[in-house]
Amino acid sequence: AQSVTQLGSHVSVSEGALVLLRCNYSSSVPPYLFWYVQYPNQGLQLLLKYTSAATLVKGINGFEAEFKKSETSFHLTKPSAHMSDAAEYFCAVTPSGSARQLTFGSGTQLTVLP
């Protein structure tokens, strides 16, 4: 069984500031981890994924995340927020070796202030 906890349902940052969205996971087997972004009334777009290769994963739009097994975390960061980053972000986990049973976190709404 696996689960994901996203700390902070709403995060606000100023434009140009660091973005940090938190994700902790629980998994009985080695996990694959994902971050998705969702804009209003749209589907999900994959930002980045961890599939047991490098623990620091770089994704699109300047985002990156680091898999920390000891902390069971996969936090999403971006050095400098842009207005266009305002969206809902979901962390998700699945057992390694399978794309089945993606379990999503509750989501974090990112607001970027001018």
Cα gap 32→14, rounded to integer Å: 31
In whole angstroms, the minimum distance from the beta carbon of 39 to other proteins comes to 10
Cα gap 5→27, rounded to integer Å: 12
Q: What is the DSSP letter of 18?
A: P
Asked if 61 is part of the footprint of other proteins (rule: CB under 8 A), the reply reads no
Site for other proteins in 32-51 (CB under 8 A): 32, 36, 41-46, 49, 51
Asked if 12 is part of the footprint of other proteins (rule: CB under 8 A), the reply reads no
- Number of residues near other proteins (by CB under 8 A): 23
Asked if 105 is part of the footprint of other proteins (rule: CB under 8 A), the reply reads yes
* Partner residues linked to 97 by β-bridges: none
Place of tokens 């070796």: 97
Contact region for other proteins (CB under 8 A) — 23-31, 55-63, 75-83, 101-109?
A: 101-109
Q: Choose between 8 and 16: whose C-beta lies nearer to other proteins.
A: 8
Q: Choose between 19 and 89: whose C-beta lies nearer to other proteins.
A: 89
Residues 6+ apart with CB under 8 A from 112: 12, 13, 14, 15, 81, 82, 83, 85, 86
Give the N- to C-terminal CA distance of the chain in Å, as an integer.
41
**Residue ranges binding other proteins (CB under 8 A):** 32, 36, 41-46, 49, 51, 90, 96-107
